[in-house]
Chain A
Amino acid sequence: GQNIDQPTEMTATEGAIVQINCTYQTSGFNGLFWYQQHAGEAPTFLSYNVLDGLEEKGRFSSFLSRSKGYSYLLLKELQMKDSASYLCAVSGWGYQKVTFGTGTKLQVIP
């Protein structure tokens, strides 16, 4: 089976940097996704990590350590529109099932 843990809520200040952590235990590992979900909307894709290391994409970066079962999403130069839930999701071996964590609700304050 798969178990994914991430903090329930976080608050950060506009213009600052925030790191959202995700730890997972899986029976197999194929890759880790991060999705953003604004209230009342569907999730949208942010990043996908397969290998260890940091993937940078504009203001957003995602890090993976497979040996530690650990990932983080780094958001720089926070904007008010970044207030949303951030979902960590893991795919296992064998087939393309993707299991989501419960999400971290980020509130950006002025």
Chain B
Amino acid sequence: GAGVSQSPSNKVTEKGKDVELRCDPISGHTALYWYRQSLGQGLEFLIYFQGNSAPDKSGLPSDRFSAERTGGSVSTLTIQRTQQEDSAVYLCASSNPQGAIMDEQYFGPGTRLTVT
């Protein structure tokens, strides 16, 4: 079946503009994750959804960042008033944990955001 998809694949925006990044998880996957990866760095956790709820928003860098998930499916990460330090690859992943039993995460191809 289809994997995780993200759009756009690349986004160049001017400093101060708002951007929206979209993630379509694998159908039926209840858990959805957003990570940020700067060049040559590891994955920085941003936010996690279980269904439409976000139990952990602790990774969001500032109040300019927000995310939502609707219908237990598509998620949108919004960055307001973008800054140059927001430039990174934004990765989305989904999984289907069974209670406390974890499942592997399936990653999308990422959105490369460049703020000029």
Interface size class of B (residues with CB under 8 A): 20 to 34
A103 surroundings in chain B (CB, below 8 A)? 42-43
Q: CA of A95 to CA of B50 in the docked complex: distance in angstroms? A: 9
The A-contacting residues of B in range 21-64, CB under 8 angstroms, are 31, 33, 35, 41-43, 45, 48, 50, 55-56
Q: Are A48 and B43 in contact (CB under 8 A)?
A: no
Determine whether B65 belongs to the interface, using a CB cutoff of 8 Å to chain A.
no
Determine whether A98 belongs to the interface, using a CB cutoff of 8 Å to chain B.
yes
Determine whether A7 belongs to the interface, using a CB cutoff of 8 Å to chain B.
no
Q: Are A91 and B48 in contact (CB under 8 A)?
A: no
Contact with A along B74-116 (1 / 0, CB 8 A): 0000000000000000010001010010101111111000000
Q: CA of A100 to CA of B95 in the docked complex: distance in angstroms? A: 15
One of A30, A89, A101 near B100 (C-beta < 8 A): A30
Determine whether A96 belongs to the interface, using a CB cutoff of 8 Å to chain B.
yes
Q: Are A97 and B56 in contact (CB under 8 A)?
A: yes
Contact with B along A73-90 (1 / 0, CB 8 A): 000000000000001010
5 contacts between A and B (CB under 8 A): A41-B109, A89-B43, A91-B102, A95-B55, A98-B105
